[in-house]
Structure 1
Amino acid sequence: MPILIVEDDNFYAQRLKEVLMDFGLEATLVNSTQEALSSNIPLYAAAIIDIMLPNDPDITGISLRESRAGYLSGVALARRFRQKVPNFPIILFSGYFGSFEGESWARDNGILFFSKEDGPGALKYCLQKIGIIREVKPRVFIVHGHDEHALIELKDYIQNTLNWQKPIVLRDEPSSGRTIVEKFEDFASSVDYVFVLMTPDDIVRNVKEDDKRRSRQNVIFELGFFYGQFGRKSGRVIVLHKGPIELPSDIQGIIWIDISKGIKESSGDIRRELKI
């Protein structure tokens, strides 16, 4: 069964279609809510819908208020698809920075969401989650500092306990003529999950306070990068911390898993966050 793509940006719609073709899937393209609503939904395996779409209220019955003047037309469309076919598989996406309301609605209604900036890996992840393509063993990127023991233990846990693919550790991968940033961006765009090892590697001195231990600067940078790429609430960035360490104040309140007693001792907490 084909997949319905609802997107008014023809170039991006074609890109999505080509990604689906690479997975051996067929796709039908439409570029407005009115075209989408005239489609025979039971003939499709799923729908991939842009949150912001052209909408004619006189034809669709979707008011300007409900569509937020077009900014959430895709959400209104997804709502009607689910009314027609309960539990119909839907993936929402957006390239609009202010799409927080749409993303929140998707999360509250059990619908997957990705950003246009996330790359093909995000679409692949969503297709696996709704069962459209076979779910392969997840690919993990490890962000780490100087704690070699914790790094080795985490690699072993991912490969031999979770039975996932060999994790990506940037320093172990070939550069192939790329700068460090280019290499990082290339590998970061193709992973399903990220494990961040926050270990007390650096001493920070403040004239008004005692010395504090913090993670390496690259760890903080890469943590922020992946939060930006996947979203803080995506469940795809797992933060592990060890020992006496000062955690960044601007992201206090998120779930940090304490691995001071070892990775395997924290396996239950890790699996809970991974939902496995």
Structure 2
Amino acid sequence: MLRIDAHQHYWRYQPADYPWIDDGMAVLQRDYGPAQLRPWLQQHRLDGALVVQARHSEQETAWLLTQAPQLGGVCGVVGWLDIASPHLAQRLERRHPLLRGVRHLVQDEADPAGWLERPAVHQGMRLLQRQGYVYDLLVTHRHLADAARFAARHDDHWLVLDHLGKPDIAAGARHWARQIAPLAAMPHVACKLSGLITEAPGGRWQAAQLLPFFEEALAAFGPQRLMFGSDWPVCLLAGDYPQVYRLCEQALAALSPSQQAAIWGGSACRVYGLTESDDGSVS
């Protein structure tokens, strides 16, 4: 079974391109690419990774599509396209085999709930799903109810909730479980076990504080709809790659080998349609 990091990022850092990286995030104010990620994947016996957009730019998406194969092994891209554009159909005609999904930084919209209700967004989503693209949903715990309504309208293909919907860690895992239940009840919604350490207040976290969120995610989604993601290099704000990996490893220790295999790669391969050909490329 292939082992996949289902969520990480590359960028060539320019302050104007990544305004969400502020002066308190000095570790992110540099370039990150396949060469820096590859040793971590090798160390943890991972066969590949999905690189995910970090800004609203088709230019960034095009660049990610050139960078992803340099990692070697299995790779794919969750890029950005303006799904509300009247020209979306023409954009999708130029299908790149590595583009497996699309994401929008909904959490950064002035009105995330309003964005999720835009008629043009719904029209674009219907087109994306008909053509087999996964949609990565990036919201915080404040808009999980809005995300559930959105997901209920778009059930023709997979939706993947990034970072467990960015829980309110201080409110506790049981509170988050109640929030997430409507999304988890939909069989076309999967979830990434990613991004938790940076949601802890001040980036100060302990495993005992976060492991209950993994437990609730397992109860809500089951292993077949969960996938490991490092959120590298954003995770560096609160910990390093080995710490993120060990936290997930600890959370899954009691599962059967087949359940663990699903989360470490099987779910990502199934949801995003990743396979490995003889030359190590996505086919």
Would you call these one fold, judging by a TM-score over 0.5? no
Which structure is richer in relative contact order (CA contacts within 8 A, separation 6 or more)?
2
- TM norm structure 2: 0.31
Higher helix content, 1 or 2? 2
> Which has the higher Rg, Structure 1 or Structure 2?
1
TM (normalized to structure 1)? 0.32
